Amino acid sequence: MSKTKFIFVTGGVTSSLGKGIISASIARLLVSRGFTVAIQKLDPYINIDPGTLNPYEHGECYVTDDGAETDLDLGHYERFTNVPTSQANNVTTGVIYQSVISKERKGEFLGETVQVIPHITDEIKYRIKILANRGNFDFLITEIGGTVGDIESLPFIEAVRQMRWELGKNSVVVHLTLVPFLAAAGELKTKPTQHSVKMLQEQGVQPDIIVCRTEKNLNEGLRNKIALFCNVTTSSVIECIDAETIYDVPILMKKENLDLEILKKAGIPAEGEPDLEEWKKFLHKLKNPVRDVQIGLVGKYVELKDAYKSINEAFIHAGAANECRVVVKSIHSEYMDESNANEKLKGLDGILVAPGFGERGIEGKITAIKYAREQGIPFLGICLGMQCAVIEFGRNVLGYKGAHSTEFNRSTPYPVIDMMEMQKKISGLGGTMRLGAYPCRLKKGSLVYDIFGIEHISERHRHRYEFNNEYKEVYTNAGMTPVGLNEKDNLVEIIELKDHPWFIGVQFHPEYRSTVANPHPLFVSFVKAAIDHASGTK
């Protein structure tokens, strides 16, 4: 029998309250107390994973070491806890049904009528328990996506009800709700919280702890009122006031004793205090920057903040490491061309060209790269951003008119970026790209070797196209050098420019591996280069 305590995090009233941040903050506090913790997200939508979802629908798709395309909340989990997640940490309704249906076809339920209860709920419980058993964790936090009352999330809540029954004291339900401030009445209102808890109770689940998102402090009277209406003690009504940064939330939750409440409900004696020293040092640096740098983020989804979540967070980590505030200026690649590039890019201390798929905004990205290359502005190209740097160099330095990626022009005379051999036989979409962590060997004497300080690195990928090896020699001779290689598959993973202060393109996604405890070296170095650029030009 597993010793794991199960924490379920549900949400009420509205979406976007920050269940992911609360779950990650709970994990941070428990890890800081020396417990082992895993976090998992159960998503009620029917897609197998968010890999095929448009970022406008669902924000960034986060990729784990084992190549799972997952919900962006897993990024928060890793950034807060520094513990890598995996395929098992994100389960959707699609995965659950696919698995049950395939078992049914194999005859595993022969003779039975296959139903939501017990077959679907059993599968959900299995996905929860298997993760707990795999690591024999002290705690498994399971965040239930969606809002209580959604039709889609019913089977998940039902699975929580059944598990509560089986586990008794070994489970804790934390319900996150909204306590809105009504300006006209000049008051915080508890009714939506009461309603959402009632709805949860109707579904058979009594929350142990209620975390209230609010823009104003909850007074004792309000806490008592919520406690009275929702069957919890006043100490289990936790205020979660709007914070300056998401990284404040673990500290705010500590002040509200959320960790102690959880331990109490789980029947674990609380010893000492969580060690949050490093976290506080990070926060101090984050809030007391010595200077600012301006970095342009060139992409086609810039109007949507969540689309580049991990990149923005990696800048926050790298900024703190450099005691500097990175002001990320969003630049829409679709609306940029030679005629306005100077106006849009002047004054920037660094330019990052974002990953992406599809042709929209490509020429704008290429224009931004030309500007960074010619003006000596620190440049980081990620995945498609690196591929665009190769295209730009081909067109404007090597004179390859019409050079392109075959993703955008199949009959380009210079296919400097081409589909990987291993991809050519694949027809289906969804989980079919080159995904997850692959090793990369760095060339001694290169800038990246200097930055990482080691020869062998491992980074996460999500792509189908690659640098075309037929052009390797010409590019190297002209000053764009492949400095990181995947030797097994003979793939160029990193390029850098010789005569430039800091110009690096990476086929992988360094942003996925940046955490508070381990800011990514490439981002740290890029921000440092931006600071140097700013000092040199001011």
Catalytic positions, please? Answer: 383, 509, 511
Q: Which of 356, 364, 381, 394 binds ligand GLN (CB under 6 A)?
A: 356
| Residue that the structure tokens 């967070």 belong to | 313
Q: Smaller CB distance to ligand GLN: residue 179 or 388?
A: 388
> Residue 35 interacts with ligand GLN (CB under 6 A)?
no
Q: Smaller CB distance to ligand GLN: residue 126 or 357?
A: 357
| Residue that the structure tokens 């986060």 belong to | 62
How far apart are the C-alpha atoms of 240 and 231, rounded to whole Å?
19
User: Which amino acid, one-letter code, is at 446?
Assistant: S
DSSP state letter for 513: G
How far apart are the C-alpha atoms of 303 and 489, rounded to whole Å?
37
How far apart are the C-alpha atoms of 148 and 260, rounded to whole Å?
25
User: In the bound complex, what is the minimum distance in angstroms from residue 503's beta carbon to ligand GLN?
Assistant: 18
> Residue 462 interacts with ligand GLN (CB under 6 A)?
yes
| Residue that the structure tokens 């399971």 belong to | 142
> Residue 361 interacts with ligand GLN (CB under 6 A)?
no
Question: Nearest-CA neighbor of 88 among 101, 102, 77?
Answer: 77
How far apart are the C-alpha atoms of 180 and 226, rounded to whole Å?
13
In Å, what is the CA distance from 256 to each residue of 43, 80, 136, 262? 28, 19, 28, 11
Q: Smaller CB distance to ligand GLN: residue 124 or 492?
A: 492
Cβ atoms of residues 230 and 210 within 8 Å: yes
Q: Smaller CB distance to ligand GLN: residue 11 or 381?
A: 381
Q: Smaller CB distance to ligand GLN: residue 61 or 211?
A: 61
> Residue 408 interacts with ligand GLN (CB under 6 A)?
no
User: In the bound complex, what is the minimum distance in angstroms from residue 410's beta carbon to ligand GLN?
Assistant: 14
User: What dihedral do alpha carbons 257, 259, 264, 266 form, nearest 10°?
Assistant: 160
User: In the bound complex, what is the minimum distance in angstroms from residue 51's beta carbon to ligand GLN?
Assistant: 11
Stretch binding ligand GLN (CB under 6 A), from 113-121, 178-186, 313-321, 463-471? 463-471
Stretch binding ligand GLN (CB under 6 A), from 233-241, 342-350, 392-400, 461-469? 461-469
> Residue 494 interacts with ligand GLN (CB under 6 A)?
no
Buried b (16+ CB within 10 A) or exposed e, 297-335: bbbbbbebeebbbbbbbbbbbbbbbbebbbebbbbebee
How far apart are the C-alpha atoms of 223 and 309, rounded to whole Å?
34
* Helix, strand and coil percent figures for the chain, each rounded to 5: 45, 20, 35
Q: Which of 465, 467, 471, 508 binds ligand GLN (CB under 6 A)?
A: 465
User: In the bound complex, what is the minimum distance in angstroms from residue 465's beta carbon to ligand GLN?
Assistant: 3
User: In the bound complex, what is the minimum distance in angstroms from residue 358's beta carbon to ligand GLN?
Assistant: 7
Q: Which of 407, 418, 493, 511 binds ligand GLN (CB under 6 A)?
A: 407
Q: Which of 2, 464, 476, 518 binds ligand GLN (CB under 6 A)?
A: 464
Binding site for ligand GLN (CB under 6 A): 355-357, 383-384, 407, 462-465
